[in-house]
Amino acid sequence: MSNPENSSVKTTNPSTANMPMSRKNIVNVNHLRKVYGSTVAVDDVSFSIAEGEVFGIIGPNGAGKTTTVECISGLRVPDSGSATIYGLSPKNDREEVRKCVGVQLQESALPPRIKVWEALDLFASFYSNPLDSRELLETLGIANKRNSTFKKLSGGQKQRLSIALALIGNPKIAILDELTTGLDPEARRETWGLIERIRDRGVTVILVTHYMDEAERLCDRVALINRGRLIALDTPAAMAAREGGEVHMQFVPSGTVDDKVLSALPGVTSVEHRGSRVVVAGSGDLTTIVLYALLNMGVQASDVQVKSGNLEDAFVRLTKTDDSPKKSEVSKQ
Amino acid sequence: MTTQDSKAAVQKPQKPFWELVKVQGKLALREPTSLVFGVALPVFLLVIFGLIPAFNKPLAGTNLTVFQIYIPILMVTALIMIGLIGLPIPIVRDREIGYLRRVSTTPVSPTKLLAAQVTINLILAVVAFVIVGAGSVLIFGVKVTLEIPGFVLSIALATTAMFSLGLLIAALAGTQGAANGMAMGLLYPLLFFAGVYVPMQILPGYLQTISYYTPVGAAVKALTSTIQGNFPSPIPLAVMAAYSAFFSYIAVRYFKWE
């Protein structure tokens, strides 16, 4: 991983978009644009994905995440710009691209009465060098469902089968779109473990999600797409640190606290009282500074909670600031 | 990845198309719409008709027995059922649930899935023809002088016309509900014009003329000639060919993968 401090890639400039790994780029998206009727779904999006990376694409609903990966997998043809995989175009080299890309689609089902093993063997027959379907089912923890029909599977089992079908062709790249949507928390966590195992096998993963905890936990880098445009590209940690906003510290003081003293502390931007609690917002090493000041006042702090900006905060802030100037632009027209 | 790769090498490469046919075939047996309507219904009618003594008497104004008249009608009935229901409904379903799209992300073209679906229904249609034909002759002792090349040509054209109609429904119906609606709307008129309710020979002339220009009426007309030992007249053959071309054109033009 390179130093997150160097990554001033809030906006879309592919040349400055830093690669956290010094491996070669295998997916290149260049000035991608896709229009549906009068709606611009994807607008001038560019990024590269390195081999072995787990690359997250995050953004609000309808931001163009799915359209972007559909252009990469070849399900849609871009109106302008390009998406290439190992330098191949999904449109012109249809078969070659599909051989090395496994896709898990959002909201795609199988015929209700197909059995798990039949679906896997069928999809295995589509590839020249497929994985062993039994072993794959073992890995995915649904080996005991081999003989079940698709309609009898639970939501989580269907997702696992869907992932299995994306991996059966032994792909170099797996595109997983909203794969934990609709899963219960336990199944989500299991699925995360699974993606980590896929990555450990050397598969490059493109993960579309609107769960920030998922992106934070799994992704080496995330691209934030809002209203069709790429507005930030970084490691989740760097994005959270830079755009996540202030640190919030709260505590219950044992006696009276002089707000003025706290406000004057370096880095502190606001001091608020909420019932018996004091909430201090600011940046830097807030906790240490505040606790030291309290100690000097002779006040003890109990039930101390510290919340620093996370990817979700960064997401909210970035999409909000991206949305507001655009709205005024629209109203001017 | 090494363990996975070594396992992969053991697996024999399979032909995707035949794997698709195999799976689509199993699905067709598990959801036996095609089987029940396309094969069982004509066979059921065959048994009933064969057991009615009056059906062995010649129909007034023709030199054929009622049972003989019904042989082509039952074959066309099988085609109507398969064409309207067995072929299009699973295709529309597969599109509606995103399965066609899912297949199109693999190296195999989803066209192969459609071809597999057509193949399965073709097999069922042939099974229905064989049971109706062989059953009439071997079990119920019907005598026919079959004009074989004419029969093969007629049944092939009839199959093409009704399968094109099925693909047309698959192309135009956005949902399974719409496909069912279209199938039901067409089912009764087609059964009527094929002569399932009453053979055309005993209906007024203008209805016979209309029937003659429907794909099913033309099919029955052509097939009836062939079981009397004659090569069918070119008009019903041309009618079936024209419908096939027309339905296929619309189907190809409007078919959507998602």
Chain A residues with beta carbon closer than 8 angstroms to that of B101: 75, 105, 108
Contact criterion met (CB < 8 Å) for B98 and A128: no
B190-204 b/e (C-beta count within 10 Å ≥ 16 → b): bbbbbbbeebbeebe
* Closest alpha carbon within chain B to A71: B105
| Alpha-carbon gap, residue A315 to A244, rounded angstroms | 8
B74, B77, B81, B83 alpha-carbon torsion, rounded to 10°: 120
Query: Does residue A85 sit in helix, strand or coil?
Result: strand
Q: Using CB atoms, which residue from A73, A95, A110 is nearest to B107?
A: A95
Query: Does residue A123 sit in helix, strand or coil?
Result: helix
CB pairs under 8 A between A and B: 89
Q: What is the DSSP string of A190-258?
A: HHHHHHHHHHHTT-EEEEEES-HHHHHHH-SEEEEEETTEEEEEE-HHHHHHHHS--EEEEEEESS---
Q: Does A131 touch chain B (CB under 8 A)?
A: yes
Contact criterion met (CB < 8 Å) for A129 and B8: yes
Query: Which pLDDT belongs to residue B14?
Result: 60
Query: Which pLDDT belongs to residue A5?
Result: 37
Query: Which pLDDT belongs to residue A13?
Result: 38
A256 Cβ contact partners less than 8 Å away, ≥ 6 residues apart = A299
Chain B residues with beta carbon closer than 8 angstroms to that of A169: 106-107
Q: Does B6 touch chain A (CB under 8 A)?
A: no
Query: Which pLDDT belongs to residue B3?
Result: 43
List phi, psi (to 5°) of B85. Answer: -115, -60
Q: How far apart are the first and last CA of chain B?
A: 34
Q: How many CA atoms lie within 13 A of B226 on its CB side?
A: 24
Q: Does A109 touch chain B (CB under 8 A)?
A: yes
Chain A residues with beta carbon closer than 8 angstroms to that of B5: 129, 170
Q: Among B28, B172, B166, which Cα is nearest to B84's? A: B166
pLDDT in tens, B93-104: 999 999 999 999
Q: Does A122 touch chain B (CB under 8 A)?
A: yes
| Alpha-carbon gap, residue B144 to B64, rounded angstroms | 10
Query: Which pLDDT belongs to residue A284?
Result: 76
| Alpha-carbon gap, residue B186 to B170, rounded angstroms | 14
Mutate to test the interface with A, among B21, B102, B256 (most CBs of A within 10 A): B102
Q: Using CB atoms, which residue from B1, B9, B20 is nearest to A122?
A: B20
Query: Which pLDDT belongs to residue A325?
Result: 58
The pairing of strands A301-307 and A247-253 is: antiparallel
pLDDT (tens place) for every residue of chain A, 333 residues total? 344 433 334 543 344 344 444 578 999 999 999 999 888 999 999 999 999 999 999 998 888 999 999 999 988 999 999 999 999 998 888 888 999 999 998 878 899 999 999 999 999 999 998 999 998 888 888 899 999 999 999 888 888 899 899 999 999 999 999 888 777 788 788 888 888 988 998 899 999 988 888 999 999 999 999 999 999 999 988 888 888 778 888 899 988 888 888 888 888 888 988 888 999 988 878 888 888 988 888 888 889 988 877 888 888 888 888 877 554 444 443
Q: Does B10 touch chain A (CB under 8 A)?
A: yes
Q: Note the maximum CA span of chain A.
A: 74
CB < 8 Å & 24+ apart, contacts of B8-13 = B8/A129, B8/A130, B8/A131, B8/A132, B8/A170, B9/A129, B10/A132, B11/A124, B11/A130, B11/A132, B13/A125, B13/A128
Residue A46's H or E segment, with its range, is: strand A39-50
Residue tagged 């129909």 (tokens): B59
Q: Does A129 touch chain B (CB under 8 A)?
A: yes
| Alpha-carbon gap, residue A26 to A100, rounded angstroms | 11
Query: Which pLDDT belongs to residue A201?
Result: 86
Q: Which residue positions in chain B have pLDDT lower than 50?
A: 1-11
Chain A residues with beta carbon closer than 8 angstroms to that of B20: 122
A230 Cβ contact partners less than 8 Å away, ≥ 6 residues apart = A11, A12, A44, A45, A46, A47, A223, A224
DSSP state of A88: B
Length of chain B: 258
Q: How far is A75 from chain B (nearest CA, A)?
A: 7
Q: Does A5 touch chain B (CB under 8 A)?
A: no
| Alpha-carbon gap, residue B57 to A129, rounded angstroms | 64
Q: How far is CA A249 from the centre of its chain?
A: 27
Is the CA virtual torsion B234, B85, B187, B71 positive or negative?
A: positive
Q: Using CB atoms, which residue from B7, B30, B104 is nearest to A113?
A: B30
Chain B residues with beta carbon closer than 8 angstroms to that of A98: 105-107
Chain A residues with beta carbon closer than 8 angstroms to that of B19: 121-122, 125
Mutate to test the interface with B, among A122, A140, A175, A204 (most CBs of B within 10 A): A122
Q: How far is B115 from chain A (nearest CA, A)?
A: 15
Contact criterion met (CB < 8 Å) for A110 and B97: yes
Chain B residues with beta carbon closer than 8 angstroms to that of A72: none
B41-76 b/e (C-beta count within 10 Å ≥ 16 → b): bbbebbeebbeeeebeeebeeeebbbbbbbbbbbbb
Query: At residue B191, what is the residue type?
Result: L
* Closest alpha carbon within chain A to B19: A122
Query: Which pLDDT belongs to residue A22?
Result: 59
B117-156 residues touching A, CB cutoff 8 A:
none
Q: Measure the CA angle with vertex B93, ends B92 and B96; round to 5°.
A: 85
Q: Does A169 touch chain B (CB under 8 A)?
A: yes
Query: Which pLDDT belongs to residue B162?
Result: 97
Give CA separation, A225 vs A44, A66, A318, A328, in Å.
Answer: 11, 10, 10, 20
| Alpha-carbon gap, residue A205 to B203, rounded angstroms | 68
Q: How many CA atoms lie within 13 A of A325 on its CB side?
A: 3
Integer-rounded Cα Rg, in Å, for chain B is: 20
Q: Using CB atoms, which residue from B4, B98, B104 is nearest to A132?
A: B4
Q: Are A36 and A75 in contact (CB under 8 A)?
A: no
Query: Does residue A317 sit in helix, strand or coil?
Result: helix
* Closest alpha carbon within chain B to A104: B102
Contact criterion met (CB < 8 Å) for B107 and A107: no
* Closest alpha carbon within chain B to A139: B4
Q: How far is A59 from chain B (nearest CA, A)?
A: 23
Q: Using CB atoms, which residue from A126, A130, A201 is nearest to B1?
A: A201
Q: How far is B24 from chain A (nearest CA, A)?
A: 9
Q: How far is CA B241 from the centre of its chain?
A: 15
B157 Cβ contact partners less than 8 Å away, ≥ 6 residues apart = B219, B222, B237, B240, B241, B244
Q: What pTM was estimated for this model as a whole?
A: 0.81
CB atoms under 10 Å from CB of B235, counted, come to 13
Q: How far is A110 from chain B (nearest CA, A)?
A: 6
Give CA separation, A213 vs A51, A60, A311, B189, in Å.
Answer: 23, 14, 8, 59
